[in-house]
Structure 1
Amino acid sequence: MPLTHRVVIAVFPDVDLLDVTGPAEVFALANRETSGRAGYQVRLAGPVAGEVRTSAGVRLLADLGFAEVGGQVDTLLVPGAVDMTDGGPVARIDADVVAWVKETAPYARRVASVCVGAHLLAAAGLLDGKTATTHWSTAAQLAADHPAVTVDADPIFVRTDRGRVWTGAGISACLDLALALVAEDLGEDVALAVARQLVMYLKRQGGQSQFSVPLSRPAASRRDIDELRLWIADHLDEDLSAQALASRMCLSERHFARVFKQETGASPAAYVEAARVEAARRLLETTDCPLDQVAAAAGLGSAETLHRSFKRQLATTPAAYRRRFRTTT
């Protein structure tokens, strides 16, 4: 008979829909990929049993009220909700959820937050003295509201307290977090099988950044600069010097450099290096190509340049990065 992993996901008014359904789908697929041997039993719990309206307007049905959950919880999963203000999104602190998490967490094998759910874990005192992540847009709020928490806005997820407490980053990273929980329970092979069913590009590791280079820069006000950024990403092995890019834009090199930095926040050389390092990271994560081939494919020329760029951009070496993040299938 399969071991039962009882997963309880908190739901409450205006909860982010994907924060709930994304992990639930991962656990369901793990059951399917193992012909039921995974034993995940997912239940939704709310302040009371019954209908809950999410931020997307879609209604969910809570299987249980918080008072009905009891102590047999393997994984307690806490999603979040935000209120939109003139200053941007603000994580909502639901007092009922905080009280229930504080009461239930000691009896759960592990507790995980999804996206801005980290604010609820912090309010319940579960993140004091620990490193945590959350959606990048509310990371400053988490740090300001909870100075005892070390907030790292970059990783996809953070595992602390010997695996008892997990925090996940924004939105789609809920899938990466849930896959990591499956890998911990059932091994990498099952997690990768689930990732393939989800048609995910790869099962990302926790220490990786929430951002790709284009996403980590604000959108340019000039459409031609945005188009150039996309062109750069597709032509990393070509001449991307400031002179060549300026010529492509029909601008003087000096004027181009000034406009590019004003629009992207980075010099052309720094932006191109970051884009090439990102491409090299993907190759290191997914292939066994020698470092000189990785460097050539990413436009960095040589293994020596690859090494220098990794040290400058990531404070690590290509070999160390591959050892940590190489994903096998």
Structure 2
Amino acid sequence: MGEKSVNGLIKKISNKETVYKFGSLLGLVIICVILSVTSPEFLTSRNLMNVLRQCTINALIAVGMLLPILTAGIDLSVGSMLALSTCFTGIALNSWGVNPLVGILLGLLMGGFLGLLNGLMLTKMHLPHPFISTLGMKNIARGIALIITAASPISGFSSSVQFLGSANLFGMPVSFILVIFVFIIFSIFLNRTAQGKYIYAVGSNKEAARLSGINVDKTLILVYTICGFMAALAGIVLIGRVNSAAPLSGLDYDLDAIAACIIGGASFMGGKGNVSGVMIGVLIMAVLRNGLNLLGVSPDVQNVAVGSVIIIAVYVDVLRARASKKAKLVS
């Protein structure tokens, strides 16, 4: 292969990488344009605020889910951790009569503790894959939530507890303002700190990271602890929105969070993904579901549409991995 051909191939691969990088954003724009034409209500301020409010829970869980995915892992228990954390918060507030701030803090600590257990099972028990540990936690946390609540929801919370999920500030949902703040913190953490770089390194090549002196076990434990904490934080927002803590809440939240990460450009193979991509993925899912509701599409058809988007996103991930592999071979 001549030098000209090699340079052409590299340029072609680079162009593909650029398309993959901005493909999700382009997809979001196209969906918004289509919905603005087909539904007059889509671009109303009321509906757009509703979209922002609806996407907050998935956004908080998804940005936490990004960390395991960056390490070539996954967390299937986020929905159950959310349920147990919210139920624990509900019991602390309504049965124990603790201060609202203390009750919220206890719920967040419960989520972090459950995530810590996921990390310990993966690293200290040497389970073969996080799929196993988090699948087990998914059933354990859901079962405990049902037991401690007698399978009944807890409701009737004070306005201070509902603030994050229901209040508005300057016309913007407080929950979405929280999302913006959290995403900024995560962006700084992943891009500006040594620990954030360790997470990418572990996902790119775990053995190489270990040989470079990175404490892989510590990194994985931190990753899953943060993921559990973020699930609990999403649960606090959910309590505020529906004024209820239910043991069966969050049943499909794990799949929605994973889908948002992959749609936003994260790779199941690890080492690739960023916070801005997750936000785009979250918005795509929220806008798509909102638009389909406005168009009167049945929930069953909506599931088909969202599932198709997920498959396309994973296929793009496969193409991106192939292009990256070819680029390495050429270089």
TM-score normalised by structure 2 residue count: 0.26
More helix by share: 2
More strand by share: 1
Max Rg structure: 1
